[in-house]
Amino acid sequence: MEEGSQESLPAFCRAKTLVLGCGNILFGDDGFGCALVEYLETHCRLPEDVCVLDVGTGVRNLLFTLLLSPQRPRRLLLVDSVDVGSSAGELFEMPLEQIAKVKEHDFSTHQIPTSNLLRELQTLSGMEVRVLACQTGPRDQEIRLGLSPALQEALAHAVDWLAKEYFPVTQR
């Protein structure tokens, strides 16, 4: 690649830290990752070397682009909601090996093949890859926009976690 052509790469490839919010906003709590990105963009000031993206259910294409890119972030955080039987709104880090097992019976298709790409990014590129998960409330059987009160409250806790673990976050 020619010198200077790195600037033509997407911003998410050039960022030091990349935060990807995953989920389907049409199914309530499944949209937690997307809601966190929206919250960060509207309520917080983030460092310039941080890129946050709402990837909805299309995270695989972006991860594949990262895998092929000559430049990648040093740190990648994927934020998603899961159902592991905990209390609604509980936040926890999920080891990459556990993702496919947890999402195996989920109606969501955005996670299962993604776990392989995340492991490859970590192994092949040395990128730090972490997953922040939030326990969903009862699964919505109908289309419903918006998070349950428990997950809405978890947004502030997720921002605090980001500030402690990843980068400085200041409220606007």
- With b meaning 16 or more CB within 10 Å and e meaning fewer, what string describes 98-132? ebeebbeebebebbbebbebbebbeeebebebbbb
At residue 140, the pLDDT reads: 67
pLDDT at 165 over 80: yes
If pLDDT is split at 50, 70 and 90, which confidence band does 24 have?
very high
DSSP state of 54: E
Higher pLDDT among residues 101 and 33, named by residue:
33
pLDDT at 1 over 80: no
Per-residue model confidence as pLDDT tens digits over 50-68:
999 999 988 988 998 999 9
At residue 89, the pLDDT reads: 96
Whole-structure pTM value: 0.87
Residue 84: name the closest of 69, 71, 74, 94 by CA. Answer: 94
At residue 10, the pLDDT reads: 92
Per-residue model confidence as pLDDT tens digits over 94-150:
988 777 555 444 434 344 457 788 888 888 888 999 999 999 988 767 888 999 999
CB atoms under 10 Å from CB of 26, counted, come to: 14
At residue 101, the pLDDT reads: 53
What average pLDDT does the structure give for the chain?
86
At residue 130, the pLDDT reads: 94
Delineate the domains of the chain, giving CATH numbers in brackets: 11-165 (3.40.50.1450)
Phi then psi for residue 167, to 5 deg, are: -160, 160
